[in-house]
Structure 1
Amino acid sequence: MKSYIKGIVTFSLGTWLKAIINFAQISMITYLVSPEELGKAVMFSLLYNLGLVFSLFGLDEAFMRFYHEEENKSRLFWSCLYPSLMIGILLSSISIIFEKQMSRLLYGETYKWLGLLYAVTLISGVLQRYNQLYVRMKQDGVMFSILDVVNSGGNIIGMLAYIFLVQRSFFSLFFGQLCGNLLALMVGFIVDSNSRRFQAIEWKRLTPYFKYAIPLVPSALLFWLFSAIDRITLRQLSDFSEIGLYSVAFKIASIINLFNSGFINFWKPTVFDKYKNDPNWRNFLRRVFLIASAIIFTLTVGLLTVKDVVFMLFQRNYRTASFVLPALTLIPGMELLFNITGVGIFFSKKTYWFFFIAAVGVTANYFGNISLIPLLGARGAAISTGISYILIFALRTAISERLCSINLPLKKFVTNLTIAMCVILFDTFIMNYLYDFLFSASALFLLLIYNRAFLLNISKSIISLVNRNA
């Protein structure tokens, strides 16, 4: 287990540094960009992510799935990248041609150069996805972390340059993203150029990749809709300022990704390797699930305990987002756990199940949002989305269990989730800073006691790893 912890730590180093940079960026945004402009950036981001889903076309997942089966890694890399890049260029061309229509759809008014900004950001996003994916599959945690930090550093520099040299608009956020992507691409291709030498694509070899990838596309589109329906509904029933507040709360909830990102980036290549080479992979998966659930719920309640202190660092107009945050913390937690429990669907290659799961999630989230947003605004969107992620976890876990008979130990998970849900609901509806702190701190103490065995073992492993490498 110590070797796996070392792998998670190396993959997480960049994420921790990236989180520090991103937190500083969020704080700057609240002072430099109005909630309304931030809300506009969120809508642009939704369209950008949709373009990525179409461009990648599931081939990024195919790259991961076949990485350990293909001897020629460079050929696999280019065989998956080339079709994605062609689709991305096609979508970019469409965005430039229909710039006015796209702008009016998003904002009800026309913004010049919006199509061009979308086009270049999308192409850079496709390239950056494969850039980091190659490093991730090689399990080079140090290089992965360097790319993360370079990307985040370039992002914040580009954003500030646009704000101070051009204007304080939502364009600044995506100009920053573009700069970050380009810098990370330069570093990745320069340092790792030998393993990415261009290989002629044998089109007949693409057939198994597409057979694996195509069933993932409808489910990926539905999952995009599932993750976007809260902001789309807010756009319909509220205004850009409310979307901006929701976005800030969402970004703070992503602090939990300090653990998530490093773990998930390490997890997929590791578990595919375990499945292929270790007959006891189920025992390994059960233990990882128990440890991850103990850590993630402790981090969730820990964040909620200090949330009001965090929001004091933001501009006053954004501080009410602290009551939107609690339910949103379910998103990174459930996402981490269903990436562990749902691997049976990947192993069985029955990826069509993701379409069914995403369809159920979208439907539940949509009806939850239209019911709660008129009553609670952004808090209602957060509650609906958080509960929908629990539903996604339950479905992925049940289907994976049926396909692979993993026999996951769920008792401790249910107890941890119940404690966390009590804190989430209390902090959402009891808008009193002192009461929220006292209740959250009590629940955090309870979680630390309940999960002490797992947390102590992890702490000892990390300390041992540090001492050995000191």
Structure 2
Amino acid sequence: MNLNKILGYAIGPIGAAALGFITLPLITWFYSVEDVGRISMLQVVASFSILLFCLGLDQAYVREYHESDNKPKLLKLSLFPGLFLIICTYGIIYLIEPTVIAKYLYDIPSAFLSAVSILCFFLAFTSRFLSLILRMEERALAYSMSQLLPKIIFLLFIVSTVLFGFKKDAYNLITAHTLSVLSVFLVFFWNTRKEWLTSLKYSIKWIEIKPLLIFGLPLVIGGLASWGLNVMDKLFLRSMSTFAELGVYSVTMSIAGVATIFAGIFNTIWAPMVYKWVKEGADLKKVDEISEHLLAAIYFIVVLAGLFSWILPYFLPKEYAAIEYLITLCLIAPLFYTLSETTAVGISISRKTGFSMLASIGAMLINVIGNYLLVPKIGATGAAISTAFSFWVFYILRTELARRVWRNMPSVKTYLIITILLSVVVIKSLFLDQGGLLLFIWIGMFFIGFFIFNRSIKMVKEVLLSQYAK
């Protein structure tokens, strides 16, 4: 994949992050912290719906794409089973009790909010498959634009609410989010019209879906466990704490998402690129090199976040002051997940997808125990510590299992560094009065990083110099 393609994929996450950086303060200043917590529950269940109803067939589509002679038919085989299930499931739930979804998610018994939420889940599910077409065809710019549009729509809706004095409540916020999801669906729907229209002419048989399900179904269990690993903190805060704590935590996670722009770019291009290398018989030692460079990037992101986290409270209401101490912890989860993708791709290459399930289940159980013990005592801080530790376990499990079924990869250096990072960020969150000492530690770690990752820094210099020469 050339630099232009990578930059094309980067436009979406970078632009979305910039828009999110504008939108986030608006939400925190004009909406209650409880409503911010409620919108996070919508996002939690939307991600659950994608994982559950995809049946792992989205990943089967990615795995078989380059080896399939009939890609439109592969799309239909992958999309149809889940599409049927999600329509039937949520349709039946709404017919039986129209208010139950809103009551459970938002503590508001509203048929309207339930209907809007179901629409959001359906659109998010369908958009998942349509986005894979653009991703696998390497239509980077179209893929990125679809990430930008929902952020723009959401921002315009929030700004309009403020300017025209509309009521700023959960109804307004949840509707705005669903409209943004609708916009991305329409973009995907139009940009992939050739592919899905072609797929309609093919009939499908169970025998053709079966091999895809054999690959994908173990990933459903693993994916749901991974989902649980990612959202267990919010579920425990919802049930054992308050919407206010959930709101503070959700905003912190959103800021962490902005700070980890490159993670979304990397996750988008990594697996298809490695599958292509395998098909072409390329030297897979470069997987180890990329993993090393990614570790260096993660190290410096966490250290710099620790050095400058004191700036964040100046941009947010006083209710969000705890973000200064939570942000580095919340960075750990997405960064360690991204790092694990560099090794865990070997599990998919070897088609031993059951091992992915084991890693996710193991880490999720750790997260359940951690949240159960810590959330009642220290609220959002406990949730953040539990989640960060669980993703540390998740990385180690995925790496060790990939080494077993694929190839032996160097791991000692990575294990040592991620353990040090985790330890320092946990100490920061628990011992808030030791700010001066922690600042000294962060500065020391920053300069030590130049020696530990000398090769990565040298590579960055060479790339920058070569670009400058052009």
User: TM-score of the superposition, structure 1-length normalised?
Assistant: 0.92
Please state if 1:421 is matched with 2:426: no
Q: 1:340 aligns with which of 339, 342, 363?
A: 342
3-state SS of paired residue (1:106): helix
Taking the aligned partners of 1:115 and 1:96, their CA distance within structure 2 comes to 8
For residues 373 and 170 of structure 1, do their structure 2 counterparts lie closer, same or farther at Cα, with a shift above 3 Å needed? same
Matches within 5 A, 1:11-410: 11-97=9-95, 98-161=97-160, 166-199=166-199, 200-203=202-205, 204-281=207-284, 283-405=285-407, 407-410=408-411
- C-alpha displacement of 1:435: 5.1
- C-alpha displacement of 1:402: 0.3
The AA in structure 2 aligned to 1:30 is T
3-state SS of paired residue (1:133): helix
Deviations 1:135-176 (A, max 9, x none): 111122222222211232123223444565642223334323
RMSD of aligned residue pairs (Cα, Å): 2.2
Taking the aligned partners of 2:320 and 2:93, their CA distance within structure 1 comes to 32
For residues 403 and 190 of structure 1, do their structure 2 counterparts lie closer, same or farther at Cα, with a shift above 3 Å needed? same
- Which segment is superposed worse, 444-453 or 51-60? 444-453
- Equivalent in the alignment of 1:444: 446
Retained in 2: the 8 A contact 1:330–1:389? yes
- Which segment is superposed worse, 241-250 or 67-76? 67-76
The AA in structure 2 aligned to 1:169 is D
Taking the aligned partners of 1:224 and 1:33, their CA distance within structure 2 comes to 27
For residues 221 and 419 of structure 1, do their structure 2 counterparts lie closer, same or farther at Cα, with a shift above 3 Å needed? closer
For residues 191 and 237 of structure 1, do their structure 2 counterparts lie closer, same or farther at Cα, with a shift above 3 Å needed? closer
- C-alpha displacement of 1:366: 1.1
Retained in 2: the 8 A contact 1:5–1:462? no
- C-alpha displacement of 1:295: 0.9
Taking the aligned partners of 2:456 and 2:245, their CA distance within structure 1 comes to 40
- Which segment is superposed worse, 365-374 or 6-15? 6-15
Retained in 2: the 8 A contact 1:95–1:119? no
Retained in 1: the 8 A contact 2:309–2:325? no
- C-alpha displacement of 1:300: 1.8
- Equivalent in the alignment of 1:8: 6
User: TM-score of the superposition, structure 2-length normalised?
Assistant: 0.92
The AA in structure 2 aligned to 1:412 is K
The AA in structure 2 aligned to 1:424 is V
Taking the aligned partners of 1:308 and 1:210, their CA distance within structure 2 comes to 48
* Unmatched tracts of structure 1, length 5 or more: none
- C-alpha displacement of 1:22: 1.0
Deviations 1:329-351 (A, max 9, x none): 11011111111111121112111
- C-alpha displacement of 1:419: 4.0
- Tell me the percent identity: 22
The AA in structure 2 aligned to 1:176 is A
- C-alpha displacement of 1:225: 1.9
Retained in 1: the 8 A contact 2:117–2:178? no
